[in-house]
Amino acid sequence: MTGTAPENTPQTVQHALFARTSRLHLDAPVTIVAVAFLLRVLLILLLGTYHLPHDASFAFEVGAVAGSVAEGHGFSSPFGDPTGPTAIVSPIYAYLLAGIFKVFGVYTDASALAAMILDALCSALTCWVIFILARETFDRRVAVLAAWLWAFSPPAVHTSTSYIWETCLSTLLVSLAFLLTVRLPSATRIGEWVRYGALWAVAALTNGAVLAVFPCLLLWSWLRSKDPAAPGILGRVLAAGLACGICLSPWAIRNAVTFGSPMLRSGIGAEIYGGMHLEEELRASDEHWPHLHNPVEQKLYRESGEMKYMAMRGHEAMQLVAAHPWDFLRLSFKRAPLFWLGDWYRFVIVHFRGKSVVLNLIVFGSIAVLGLSGLFLAWRKRATYASFYTIPLMIYPVLYYVTHIEARYRHPMEPLLIVLAAYAMVTVAGSAQEPRKTGAAAPIIS
């Protein structure tokens, strides 16, 4: 009896792999979330990363503000010493950390452990959102792979286990906002648009930089709706914008009353000024680098007050840009690729020291290359959601191109890169299905 052995193509191998994954329930979001959470908590406990200094190095500015709130001094003093009210950090995570301080003590190991477990939970739950987002914009195979990639992604694991900041919470919130964005064009109830705007406001009050993406994605949702010229659609779009504004207003009103300006966060001008001084030829030494962890700058900040200091540095930043326009452009264009590779200092150190830094850049760079390759393939295949993925990846980093970069600043965009990386891998393997067309939303818990 003769026959032909089944061809061992990449497609058949991948189908067999996914079939086995399904039998073992490894394609279930709850399994992936549980593994991601347990991995992160285990690393926190084994490595003892919660043993943080019981001073300003514990969560830095946000920790100092949270400590001030917990001790009854209000939202103030971001650098430890009493300096009065502040708007340097966004309020939601600072108040959340203040609640942890109230329960477990200010700057204690117990507080650090609780805050890191919260970060680990937020990072693990992002797996679930990534799964749903990838499934709705591509297919289930991409969704399973993307969720597992996030569960073990070195940047995601490191960010959720090594320090305390708003990064994991803001990434979870922004991921949820991205998911609602792809569902919004088919949303007919005004309440769905209101919730969308409110969610972006909550994300912005956790990390103000993400707000730049909101109007662009709201416009995208409007244009992708069935009939952008329909009478009711403009009202729904305005309702989303109004909901966002209303939810932001308490913080803006507080700042207007306290500082005379309804800004969401102070210090952009100072950050541009500081970014211009990161180059050796534009600064004499680290002692003169105008960063607020510098004792000289802190003294000036205390004596001037936050708003006067920020206004002064903002004015000097504009003067510096006007005097050195080509330096400003050169530095901005230099930061652009480095934003996707990791932070500035790791890039500089790699020429002089340890292999671990090289590995760091390889990890960050490979995720970026895979993700951007997936975006290229999505455009090449005319995928339905190629434009959706493009907008945040283009808009969000611009603020950091003109100020300064650190590896963690890329993190809110990391879920999009992971989904696109998974899409690239599945596409190259030859089994990616045509991305799902905009339609009725699937349940978020499925």
DSSP symbols for 289-335: ---TTSHHHHHHHHHH-HHHHHHHHHHHHHHHHHH-HHHHHHHHHHH
**What does the pLDDT read at residue 357?**
60
Looking at 77-139, list the stretches that DSSP marks H as alpha helix, in order from N- to C-terminal side.
Answer: 91-104, 109-137
Is residue 270 scored above 80 in pLDDT? no
Is residue 207 scored above 90 in pLDDT? yes
Of 54-58, 195-199, 222-226, least confident by mean pLDDT is 54-58
Is residue 304 scored above 70 in pLDDT? yes
Mean pLDDT for the stretch of residues 139-145: 95
Contact 310, 269 (CB under 8 A): yes
Other CB atoms within 10 Å distance of the CB of residue 345: 13
pLDDT grade for 288, boundaries at 50, 70 and 90: very low
Is residue 177 scored above 50 in pLDDT? yes
C-alpha separations of 200 from 144, 170, 375 in Å: 26, 10, 24
Mean pLDDT for the stretch of residues 229-249: 93
Distance CA 310, CA 85 (A): 13
Reference 309, options 323, 319, 299; nearest CA is 299
Is residue 346 scored above 50 in pLDDT? no
Q: Per mean pLDDT, which of 134-148, 260-274, 289-303 is the most reliable?
A: 134-148
Is residue 266 scored above 60 in pLDDT? yes
Write the pLDDT tens digit of every residue in 72-99: 999 999 988 888 999 999 999 999 999 9
Other CB atoms within 10 Å distance of the CB of residue 362: 13
**What does the pLDDT read at residue 290?**
46
Whether the model clears a pTM of 0.75, i.e. scores above it, the answer is yes
Phi first, then psi: what are they for 78, rounded to 5°?
A: -75, -10
Contact 201, 248 (CB under 8 A): yes
pLDDT > 90: what percent of the chain? Answer: 58
Distance CA 310, CA 217 (A): 30
**What does the pLDDT read at residue 168?**
97
Distance CA 124, CA 36 (A): 5
pLDDT grade for 347, boundaries at 50, 70 and 90: very low
Write the pLDDT tens digit of every residue in 111-124: 999 999 999 999 99
**What does the pLDDT read at residue 114?**
97
**What does the pLDDT read at residue 332?**
86
**What does the pLDDT read at residue 223?**
93
Is residue 3 scored above 50 in pLDDT? no
Q: 290 vs 408, which has greater pLDDT?
A: 408
Mean per-residue pLDDT over the chain, rounded: 85
**What does the pLDDT read at residue 358?**
66
**CA geometry: angle at 50 spanning 49 and 55, to 5°?**
115
Is residue 224 scored above 80 in pLDDT? yes
Distance CA 331, CA 194 (A): 39
C-alpha separations of 338 from 99, 276, 346, 354, 430 in Å: 36, 16, 10, 18, 31
For 203, half-sphere exposure in the C-beta direction (CA atoms, 13 angstrom radius) is 24
How buried is 430 (Cβ within 10 angstroms: 0-12 exposed, 13-18 middle, 19+ buried)? exposed
**What does the pLDDT read at residue 284?**
38
159: CB partners within 8 A, 6+ apart: 119, 123, 167, 168, 408, 411
**What does the pLDDT read at residue 21?**
60
Tokens of 67: 């400590």
